[in-house]
Amino acid sequence: MARNFSTEEHKAGLTLIVKPADDPERPVDAERFLQTASKWLASLDSFALDVGLKVRWEIAELKRSSALLEIVPVNIATGLIASSIAENWNDVVREIERTGTPPVSLQPATLRDLEQFVTTTNDLAVTVRVGDEPIVQTISANTQKRLKDAIAALPSEEYTQEGTIRGTLAVLNSWNPRERWFRLKLPLVPDKQVRCAYSDENLIAELGDTFEKTLDVKGILHYRRSEAWPFFVDVASVSKLPDITLEAVEKLIQPIVIPHGLDSVSYIRSVRDAE
């Protein structure tokens, strides 16, 4: 149940109103409303982080009859109402719609989240009100176009290069001949799985015997500039690496003779620095 907000707190809120574009009097589809509201909240979260605030959004009002959602941002660190977010967010949207150029302070990820929100408004009449202002921000076809143009003008955040990546087979999908892929789990980042797409039917049988086995996957590696590991691979070939036992590893380990007068740390540093 929503708590009671004061008049001043309501002024810091944002209200999303969603209606069917062809018949504003007809109730909007619940799934469409929830999808639009989720994308809206995601864009607001990104915007808040851009201005250095981590907030939670408290529901101030929710009406089924008009598909209305009012939320108020609360600073997690202080528990106080983040009064600047709503107005600043609205100013940014209006500036983009008016000029087609986002503020330099707006991060590309935030711009993309905002574009994702407005994309969900097709076939809907969507408006956003700041506080109790009488003028609302309509998410129009022009808003969508301006944001798409702004996204297109961004420098690419992805790049590709030929290479090889090593990991273990985590998931294999081979039933759909038009979309064959597997997921590779990386040993240095266990929570990271890389999607690998392939077209060679001969790999199906080979991959089926390699669950939890180590593979070298060669092909075109797709990276995001903000990440150290690829997120996607166009597979050219796969090499299964032989299993190695602990005994074999121990045989490969050779003792290092440390020169007199040096401890192990000093010796390793001297080798590293070629002293």
For the stretch 26-67, pLDDT in tens is 888 888 888 899 999 999 998 998 888 888 998 888 877 678
Bridge partners (DSSP) of residue 234 are: 197, 220
* pLDDT confidence of residue 174: 62
**Could you count the other beta carbons within 10 Å of the beta carbon of residue 11?**
17
- Residue range(s) in the chain whose domain bears CATH number 2.40.50.140: 158-243
Q: Architecture of domain 158-243 in CATH?
A: Beta Barrel (2.40)
* pLDDT confidence of residue 50: 85
Indicate if the pLDDT at residue 250 is higher than 70. no
Percent of the chain with pLDDT over 90: 21
Mean pLDDT of 179-202: 83
Bridge partners (DSSP) of residue 164 are: 218
Lowest mean pLDDT among 107-116, 126-135, 142-151, 195-204: 195-204
Lowest mean pLDDT among 52-56, 170-174, 238-242: 170-174
For the stretch 96-140, pLDDT in tens is 988 888 888 888 888 889 998 998 888 899 999 998 888 888 998
Q: How far apart are CA 269 and CA 35, in angstroms?
A: 56
Indicate if the pLDDT at residue 212 is higher than 90. no
* pLDDT confidence of residue 211: 65
Cβ neighbours of residue 18 closer than 8 Å, sequence gap 6 or more: 28, 32, 33, 36, 37, 67, 68, 121, 124, 125, 126
Bridge partners (DSSP) of residue 215 are: 167, 240
* pLDDT confidence of residue 1: 46
Q: Which residue has better confidence, 205 or 130?
A: 130
